[in-house]
Amino acid sequence: AMMKDLQKKYEELVDLDKAHFLHPTSSIKQHQENGPAFIFTEGEGIYLKDIQGNKLIDSLSSLWNVNIGHGRKELGEVAAEQMGKLGFASTFATWSHEPVIRLAQKVAEMTPGDLNTTFFTSGGSEANDTAFKTVRHYWKLKGQPEKKKIVSRKKSYHGVAMGSTSATGLKPFHDFTTSIAPDFHHVDSSADALRAFIDEEGAETIAAFITEPVQGSGGVNLPPDGYFQEVQQICKENNIIFIMDEVITGFGRTGKTFGSDHFNIVPDIMCIAKGITSGYAPLGGMVLTERLYKELIDLSGDGMFMHGYTYSGHPVSCAVALKNIEIIEREGLVEHVREMGEELLRGFEMLKQEHDSVKDYRGLGLLGAVGLDAGTEEPIAPKVVSECFKRGMIGRAVVYDGQDTLAFAPPFVITKEQVQEMIDIVHESLVAVE
Ligand code: PLP
């Protein structure tokens, strides 16, 4: 009878999902045919469970964000405590509260150099849009309103708000709507390409350059050697504000606290989200250097900073973020990410040895990818991912721009044995597809 009730509930939920829930970034017609693949019910560590009783490895930490792993009761407790005390309060104008103040201080302590002041948002898209508006505001205050172009890299992903969609360098996101915002441009990932763009357009028309330390959604692409040092120099010489989008890479994902730390880069602005709460509550932010913030203060006079979201500095999200960061520090997870990152690369090397269809691999900490080439017209990564599902792992295929890539970003708490389990599943899935 139990089983029957559960089956009935499952079928009911599938029907309701199809009727009433438009899924983000989804194939909506296919969804009507197939319904939801998983209806998740709970999670623990690197595993998710669904309503049909399947236990699945979450090899991408859901959306590169559940960094400390699923089922952390401590975060639930801190959220409940904060909600019971002060579930919401505005931070507009001069209002404040302790969780947002403590978190802003903690972010200042963790971020490199003099990145010391944070504006909070609900996520990464809003963080990037905030940065784009802020740099334009800054140049306007400096008497250069025509210095407004935002330059980003091809294959970048910066989110789906109007500005962040426009900065994203992946065509399918542009094609979804009629046109991207004006004054957004995409360049190839070389210092020469940026130089050529500046020469052509004029530095006096360019407000900022934005990049991820490691491109995530675009296929886990590591930067060319020396690229960031050179790009930062070019930006300095041309008075172009350098924005690092650390939405995926922030808070330990790459085996250092921030991706920027690998390249000894202190950007003028850093955007953060995802890993700041490990996904337990929505939160993002734009972090400014002291130099930029002081200048903004001086330039503003009696003018307003006319930008703010209702949920900027949400007290529950901030309390959750503080506890999440405490756990990362207490459990030495960034160090662990470095070690497990090496295990992951060893696993990728094994896959390469055993499969002709594995062309290459790359990784930094627990952010990695395997490049496939089976000599077929169609990419095989989606088929490999389907085979992974059958074997108890949720995988991620990247097929933008003719790529055929498997991306990995498991929770920081993954063990050596679990890395091997993941690799074994990918191995078996490749065998099934080949
Ligand atoms: N920037 C990067 C590098 C991302 O990977 C993402 C999300 O995947 C975003 C921005 C957008 O963040 P959000 O989905 O929280 O708006």
What is the domain partition of the chain in residue ranges? 37-68+332-433, 73-330
Q: What is the pLDDT of residue 190?
A: 97
The amino acid at residue 325 is: I
Q: What is the pLDDT of residue 327?
A: 98
Q: What is the pLDDT of residue 3?
A: 80
**Segment 119-137, tens digit of pLDDT:** 999 999 999 999 999 999 9
Q: What is the pLDDT of residue 27?
A: 95
Closest by CA position to 45, among listed 64, 67, 76: 67
Query: Does ligand 1 come within 6 angstroms of the Cβ of 246?
Result: no
What atom in ligand 1 is closest to the CA of residue 161? 16
**CATH fold label, 73-330:** Aspartate Aminotransferase; domain 2 (3.40.640)
| Centroid of ligand 1 to alpha carbon of 298 (angstroms) | 31
Closest by CA position to 281, among listed 317, 330, 227: 317
Q: What is the pLDDT of residue 4?
A: 87
CA distance 340 to 167: 32
**Segment 243-269, tens digit of pLDDT:** 999 999 999 999 999 999 999 999 999
- What CATH number belongs to 37-68+332-433? 3.90.1150.10
| Centroid of ligand 1 to alpha carbon of 50 (angstroms) | 25
What atom in ligand 1 is closest to the CA of residue 123? 15
Give the residue ranges of the chain where pLDDT is below 70: none
First to last CA, the chain: 42
Asked if 182 contacts 216 with a C-beta cutoff of 8 angstroms, the reply is: no
DSSP codes, 369-399: EEEE--S-SS-SHHHHHHHHHHTTEE-EEE-
Is the complex ipTM higher than 0.90? yes
340: left (phi over 0), alpha (psi -120 to 50) or beta: alpha
Nearest CA to ligand 1 atom 13: 124
CA 212-247-100 angle, to 5 degrees, is 140
Q: What is the pLDDT of residue 425?
A: 98
Q: What is the pLDDT of residue 185?
A: 98
